[in-house]
Amino acid sequence: MPYQQFLADARSQSSWIVDIRRQLHRFPEVMYEEMKTSQLVRDTLDELGISYQSGIAETGVVATLGTGESPCVALRADMDALPIHEETDVPFRSEVDGKMHACGHDCHTAMLLGAAKLLRECESELPGTVRFLFQPAEEGGAGGKRMRDEGVLENPNVERIFGLHVWPPLPTGTIGSRTGTFLAAAGELKITIHGKGGHAAKPHYCVDPVVASAKVITELQTIISRNLDPLDSGVVSITAIHGGEAYNVIPETVQLSGTIRALTMERLQWLQDRVRSLTTQVAAANECEATVDFPGNAYPPTVNDGGVWDSVQEFAGELLGRDAVHEVPPVMGGEDFAFYTEQVPGCFVALGIRNEEAGCTHNVHHPLFKVDEDALPIGSALHACFAVQALRDLSDA
């Protein structure tokens, strides 16, 4: 199983991978609604003669190749799209209004199926088990946590896990990652400011939650600039404000929402405590009451195992060229891959997809986001190499 052969085979099967990606791209499905996506994954696995379990975490699929015994390694792809209306001009653009694969999870799913095809062809030579995790709801639904809680890392126990993410800052043909914390701990924030509504001409009979909200938003900016150690990292962003309907009515309440990020769970918790205390006190100073919630599951930071990343750098340098493998700084984006690496050593790798000539320059979560599809066979080959190299490392250990 020479790694160059994986890359050559993936490139010769590139149209197969691209075709799956485009089918997924045309019919994006958001968190826990990945029915057609899951069906396409299962149909493709059937076509390849690979066994799987489905209905995990609702729409998740787990396929298996190899001996069925230890050592066991896992490769993961996320399947969900975003509630964004696509504005690109690609011929396979989204056919669902208001939904788009704007984070490249269509590519992740197609690349992992490509890797399954490569590894199926040399299954008898695998020195252990490879598990393929197709998971739902990465975008805010903590699908990775549900997959983990439903036991996908057990029987036999997964000892290494890998994930790829398309990465617009890096050019096609390159990859990046780092030792330690790569992506942030991230959580959602919801605030309601309760006042007393009434006629806007008689503000003295009201308690105005609009003015109080403005002050809360402004004061929240001081948490990062005044309370956080300047050498530490954090984000507090208010991204939505809803309140009031009429020009002459002071509303009863105003709702704010946003996100909080940090590089450790402890720091995230500290930021949440500070947001709660500052918000309730600023509201109280304005005779309002505030309720502060952090709904859903906060994502832990995505922390890469240094030894696993070293091993990836070694073979990827030979496969793609030494200059094509980058140590990149951490970013404040969140990833539910973190729920797996809380339990198992692994590595999350950024796959370059930037191609200025092809117009692939926009960042993820943008309505004009486009992927250079030449990166897809590279991703499939890398996944196959991750699995084989990790099985070899574990067998040698």
Residues that bind Ni ion (CB under 5 A): 103
Element (H, E) at 226: none
Map residue 22 onto helix, strand or coil.
helix
286/302 with CB nearer Ni ion: 302
Strand 234-242 and strand 185-194: pairing?
A: unpaired
Least CB distance from residue 77 to Ni ion, whole Å? 10
9/139 with CB nearer Ni ion: 139
Least CB distance from residue 161 to Ni ion, whole Å? 16
Map residue 264 onto helix, strand or coil.
coil
103/185 with CB nearer Ni ion: 103
Contact 362, 369 (CB under 8 A): yes
Least CB distance from residue 103 to Ni ion, whole Å? 3
Least CB distance from residue 278 to Ni ion, whole Å? 31
Query: Minimal CB distance to Ni ion: which residue?
Result: 103
Least CB distance from residue 397 to Ni ion, whole Å? 32
103/385 with CB nearer Ni ion: 103
Amino acid in position 83: P
In angstroms, the CA 104 to CA 107 distance is: 5
Contact 190, 256 (CB under 8 A): yes
286/380 with CB nearer Ni ion: 380
Helix, strand, coil percent content, the chain, rounded in steps of 5: 40, 25, 35
Amino acid in position 157: N
16/369 with CB nearer Ni ion: 369
Least CB distance from residue 328 to Ni ion, whole Å? 16
Least CB distance from residue 369 to Ni ion, whole Å? 11
**Residue 86 CB neighbours (<10 A):** 24
**Residue 203 CB neighbours (<10 A):** 12
In angstroms, the CA 382 to CA 377 distance is: 8
139/208 with CB nearer Ni ion: 139
Of 337, 330, 314, the closest CA to residue 386 belongs to: 314
